[in-house]
Structure formats: C-alpha cells, structure tokens
Structure 1
Amino acid sequence: MTEPAGHPVPGPAALFDPGAPDLPTAPIGGWRTAIVHSVRHPTPRSVAIRLDVPDRVDHWPGQHYVVRLTAEDGYTASRSYSVASAPADPQLELYVERLEDGEVSSFLADELRPGDPLEIRGPIGGWFVWTGGRPATAVGGGSGVVPFVSMLRHAVDLDRTDLLSLVVAARTLADLPYADELRAAGARIVLSREDRPDRPAGRLSAADLAGVPVAGARCLVCGSAGFAETASRLLVDAGADPAQVRVERFGPSGGPAPLF
C-alpha cells in the first residue's frame, strides 16, 4: 500500500484536544526504505533501533510498523513491531525482543548496523492508540510496555503526564524494556521473579491496580494472551468500563512485539 508523500497528519499540539478524545482517522503510511541511524542493545536479548525515514508519516502513540527482510533468493519475512518514539521525535524508534527461532528478530538483533537500509511499512493501526485527549491507564507486560513508552514520551512533549497512568510488569527489572525511563515517570512496576522494596515478587494482582484511575479513563492492555486476559479482568473488577478496555495480545510469530 502506498500513499502520496507528505500525507498530512496533525502535529503533537493538534493531537491534544480535551474535547475530542479520538481523532476520526489514524495516519497510515506505505512502504519506505529507512536508514538505520543507531543500534542499541539494552539487554542481550533485545535491540532498540533508531531509523531515519524519508517522507515519514507521523504516527500516533500505540501504532506499529511492519519490518520486511528480503533474502538474495527473493524470500521475504515480515514482522510487526510497536513504535517506542513520540510523534515529535525526528527519528523512528522500534524495540525488538530477540526470539531464538525468530528469523526477523534475530537478524535485527544480531546483524543490523548503522547505515543499513531497512524496508518498513507504517504507521499502522488506529484502535489501540492514545493521542493525549483524555485520561488513560496503560497496563503492559514485558515487551508490551513499548507502545506505552511512545505514549509516555508524547505526554511529556505535551506536558500532560498527569493524563497517563502506567502499570508495567516483567519477570525481573533487567527484563523490563525502558525500565529507567518508566521508573523515572512513576510507573508502578510489578516483577514476578524479583522482590522490590515496595513489593514482593509476584504476578500482577488487584492490589497493583489499587488507586489507579479507571473510571472514565481509556484503559489499554498490552502483553501476552495470558497477561492480557488477567489484566483486562482486573481492570474491569477495579471499575473500568469494559467498552473502554482495549487490548493488544502478542504471539510468538506476529503482532507488534514478541511473547511476554
């Protein structure tokens, strides 16, 4: 799918409109050849990729991109990854968890270098987004926190971090993407295999959502199927309107991020 270069979308200031919680049509972009600006390995099993994208269509926080690799014999493999950068960021940032049998993720984590070209398509998606126009509570597990990092960065740009509440979960702090940034933003951190000063090790529970604003808020859940089911149920039990709970579930071979 392609679209005219310079397809207009609202800038960060226009995205914040308290009277319009959602804009009618999310931006969408076609295939581009991006150039890798930088490659960073936050953990041995992950890679954060910064891309320069010509004629980029600005995304909304919560959208994702497809990455396509093409072998010399013409074989192609594609996977989707959530965007971590804010719309106002001049570069696009994707976070990829390396899967042992992942033909795309292993290449991106092990072989990609600054200056390399990379085929991408996006932004994609308009249902699982937050543009800053209403309060939102986001609950993410593992790599499922990545779209919420984009939302957090956008909230910082708008100076409206008061509108976004974050609860994030992982096995250990070292397994949590963007742990320092999330911790500095005041996110509630739930670790299933590591004690914290304010919480013993354990899975996400009702106590972790106590006091988190859910009434009248858009509630976003992102993680593996099991995590998403648990988090969604806990949010509804805490008083969230089921119609306002939006879920992204990840599997091992698709979706914006790998399995948690």
Structure 2
Amino acid sequence: MGGWRRARLTERTAQTATGRTLTFEVPRWPGHLPGQHVDVRLTAADGYQAVRSYSLAAPADTDRIELGVQAVDGGEVSPYLADDLPVDADVEVKGPLGGWFVWTPQEPGPLLLIAGGSGIVPLMAMLRARLASTSTEPCTLLYSVRGPDEVWYAAELDSAHDQHLRILRLYTRLAPDHSERPAGRITKADVVDLPSAEGARCYVCGPTGFVEHVSALLLAAGHAPDQIRTERFG
C-alpha cells in the first residue's frame, strides 16, 4: 500500500449535475484491483488537512487512476474536488485500499452487480474489467437511480455489448417513457430470476439504506450470505 503519493489532476469529466470523474496521474502507482479505493488528502495554505475516501472507477492503467466524486451540499472536500480543483493541480493519495470488496475476471461463477446512484463507481471498475476479459460467465448490472439525468457513464453503458452481459436500469422517481418498469423502489421481483442470479457472487454499493434494503432482498431471494459483498456511504 505504501504512504502518501503525489497525484496530479489531468482530466475532469461531468457524469451528472453533481457527479464527476477525476483522472489523476500518480507516478509509480503500484496498481489496484477492481473495487478498491484510495484516500485523498488536501492540505490548505495554513496547514489544515482533510482526508476523504473515493472509489477507483477503472482497472489499473499504468500511472493513471480514475476516481468518482459526488459533490455533497455543504461538504468540505467533495464540492472542491468536483468543480474547483484546477487541472494540473496536485493532491495526495494513499492506496490502493480494501481487499474484501474486490473482484477479478479470474474468479469463477456468475457476477451480479447492483448499484444505487454514485455507488456505480467501484462496480464500473469491475464491469470494465469484465468486458476487457475473455470471461464467458454471465454478468448482470442492475443500476438504480432517481431519474435518467442521474445515470453515471450513460453513453458507455449504452454501448457495452457482450452476449454474456445484461445491463438493467431501474428508476425510483422518474422513469423515461420507454421504460417498461414504472418508477419505484427496488423490490424482490427486480432481483429474482436475473440472468446471472443463480449462484452469483453479488456486489452491492450505494447509500446505506439502499445497501441494507438490497442485501435483505438478495437473502430473501436465496442468495448465500457469504456470496454478498457490500460497500456503503452516507
């Protein structure tokens, strides 16, 4: 893992009105696994420091890392990172961190990813690794958002094609006209009989209430507790 490393912001991409992808160049980055995260440290001119954790959104790519940042109203760090940190400015990062909420294409069996809102970020790293692999194991991403404007990686998800992959969007407040499912909270019916459900390794990420609710649904649908891995925030 090592200590703190200098990270230079090279690119900022808007995902939603308040969600951003930040790409950093980190010299001598040791690499990471899909699902891991880093700590980001900011230091003010007066020496005050603030540290926050952010998920890695992509598999390891030489000295580049990609983070997902959701700006939180009144937040001390996320609004600055999302919109104010200048391109070419430096921060410090420590990581990669976390060894439980991870997945690699070498792991056997079906894969079920369930994300709520910005919880898609670490699962996107898993999905990208899955698409880049030669795996033929079935994989399903169930992505729950309030409305169409809150979908992260929308164009990339629309263009993801793999005969063994299925991507489903679930809208909780405002569903587009073409949606077959009316807007509403995720239910047991949404997680039963998914293409990769039987015997799947399940990864769930999102706000605490969402993760607890989905975990209970998966257990009720017959998934083994040791096959459900969760990461939550808020």
TM superposition score normalised by structure 1: 0.81
Q: Which amino acid letter does the alignment assign opposite residue 187 of structure 2?
A: S
Task: Please state how far the C-alpha of 1:215 moved relative to its aligned partner.
Answer: 3.1
Q: Distance in 1 between matches of 2:101 and 2:159?
A: 24
Structure 2 residue corresponding to 1:223, chosen from 199, 206, 221: 206
Q: Distance in 1 between matches of 2:213 and 2:100?
A: 20
Structure 2 runs not aligned, ≥5 long: 161-165
Structure 2 residue corresponding to 1:128, chosen from 101, 104, 113: 101
Structure 2 residue corresponding to 1:207, chosen from 185, 189, 193: 189
Partner of 1:182: 157
Q: Does 1:159 align with 2:169?
A: no
Bigger CA drift: 59-68 or 200-209?
200-209
User: How large is the Cα RMSD of the aligned pairs?
Assistant: 1.6
Task: Please state how far the C-alpha of 1:89 moved relative to its aligned partner.
Answer: 6.2
Q: How does 1:1-260 map to 2 (within 5 A)?
A: 28-88=1-61, 91-132=64-105, 133-134=107-108, 135-160=110-135, 162-185=137-160, 186-196=166-176, 197-212=179-194, 213-251=196-234
Classify 1:198/1:29 alpha carbon distance in 2 versus 1 (closer, same or farther; 3 Å).
farther
Task: Please state how far the C-alpha of 1:214 moved relative to its aligned partner.
Answer: 3.1
- Determine helix, strand or coil for the equivalent of 1:103: coil
Task: Please state how far the C-alpha of 1:43 moved relative to its aligned partner.
Answer: 2.4
Q: Which amino acid letter does the alignment assign opposite residue 151 of structure 1?
A: M
Contact 2:29–2:63 (CA under 8 A) maintained in structure 1: no
Contact 2:36–2:98 (CA under 8 A) maintained in structure 1: yes
TM superposition score normalised by structure 2: 0.90
Partner of 2:163: none
Classify 1:179/1:89 alpha carbon distance in 2 versus 1 (closer, same or farther; 3 Å).
farther
Contact 2:20–2:68 (CA under 8 A) maintained in structure 1: yes
- Determine helix, strand or coil for the equivalent of 2:215: helix
Q: Distance in 1 between matches of 2:2 and 2:210?
A: 30
Moved over 3 A (4+): 183-186
Contact 1:170–1:192 (CA under 8 A) maintained in structure 2: yes
Structure 1 runs not aligned, ≥5 long: 1-27, 252-260
Q: Distance in 1 between matches of 2:197 and 2:181?
A: 22
- Determine helix, strand or coil for the equivalent of 1:187: strand
Structure holding more strand per residue: 2
Task: Please state how far the C-alpha of 1:194 moved relative to its aligned partner.
Answer: 1.6
Classify 1:76/1:173 alpha carbon distance in 2 versus 1 (closer, same or farther; 3 Å).
same
Bigger CA drift: 70-79 or 85-94?
85-94
Q: State, as a whole percentage, how many aligned pairs show the same letter.
A: 43
